[in-house]
Chain A
Amino acid sequence: MRILNVVNKSPFERNCLESCLRLANSGSSILLIEDGVYAALGNTAKSTLIKNDQKNLGFYVLINDLDARGLSEAPMIDSISRVDYDGFVDLVVDHDSIHSWL
């Protein structure tokens, strides 16, 4: 079963993303929204969390939340795909269940 994991907390403030990466099944997906988008930046102390993924996870980041934080032009980790709200809906439809890591 494919789970869409939704992470909305900054990796600098909380360990949700780390727990999510530890417990996600290989082949499932992670969508970064709200303050979670800071984890998508390519040049931070937390970039390696996603760069070192060994589970072949799919990574997505919500463009709207990047824009809101002035990060549209910032360097991103290569393996992360950008999605808008329509893309968010497509991801929800394409997966069997959703897990919001509060």
Chain B
Amino acid sequence: MPEDSIFETKGVKKNFMFVCNKAPYGTIYALEALEMIMISAAFEQHAVIVFIDDGVFQIKKGHNTKSTGMKNFSPTFGVVSMEKEDADEDDEIDMVWRIVVEKESIEARGLSEEDLVLETEVLSSGELSDLMAKQDVILTS
């Protein structure tokens, strides 16, 4: 394989689903998922970003990590929002992004849409299940 073709991504376009299912800060998974999401934007890929289970705590408003000495990555979700808006509004960008939370997961944790830093689509398990079946690649982290 010629060396210059190893990272040939031109024209490669897939439907990615990123399933965020873990609480922030306790482990590195949430931050790593966010990295994957931002990288998928750099490669202009279609993405559905899903928050289920304790993953919904990642986008809870009002994180303040100052006294724990950990990086507060909550503001990065603002960048995710901006990427989605750019993709929605700019015809030059061939990228469709959706941000989804599972209804059952937020309800089980006493949260509602107003508690979240992102504007999200709230889908039931059944609706989310159907959406999952339409993806090319599903990554849970």
Tell yes or no: B42 within 8 A of A by CB: no
Contact of B135 among A16, A22, A97, A102 (CB under 8 A): A97
B129:A23 contact, CB within 8 angstroms? yes
* Majority secondary structure of chain B interface residues (helix, strand, loop or mixed): mixed
Tell yes or no: A99 within 8 A of B by CB: yes
Tell yes or no: B125 within 8 A of A by CB: yes
A23:B138 contact, CB within 8 angstroms? no
B52:A25 contact, CB within 8 angstroms? no
Those 8 A-B pairs whose CB atoms lie nearest each other, nearest first: A99-B138, A25-B133, A1-B133, A23-B129, A102-B140, A22-B125, A25-B129, A101-B140
Contact with B along A1-21 (1 / 0, CB 8 A): 101000000000001100100
State the Cβ distance, B68 to closest chain A Cβ, in Å: 24
Restricting to A22-57, which residues have a CB under 8 Å from any CB of B? 22-25, 28
Residues of B within 8 A of A (CB-CB), count: 20
State the Cβ distance, B103 to closest chain A Cβ, in Å: 12
State the Cβ distance, B11 to closest chain A Cβ, in Å: 21
Tell yes or no: B141 within 8 A of A by CB: yes
CA distance A102 to B139 in the complex (A): 9
B residues sitting closer than 8 Å to A (CB atoms) are 19, 21, 29, 52-53, 102, 104, 125, 128-130, 132-138, 140-141
Residues of A within 8 A of B (CB-CB), count: 16
State the Cβ distance, A63 to closest chain B Cβ, in Å: 25
**11 CB-based A-B contacts, threshold 8 Å:** A3-B132, A3-B133, A19-B52, A23-B52, A24-B129, A97-B135, A97-B137, A97-B138, A99-B19, A100-B140, A102-B141
A residues sitting closer than 8 Å to B (CB atoms) are 1, 3, 15-16, 19, 22-25, 28, 97-102
Residue of A nearest to B22 (CB): A102
State the Cβ distance, A3 to closest chain B Cβ, in Å: 7
CA distance A23 to B140 in the complex (A): 13
B140:A99 contact, CB within 8 angstroms? yes
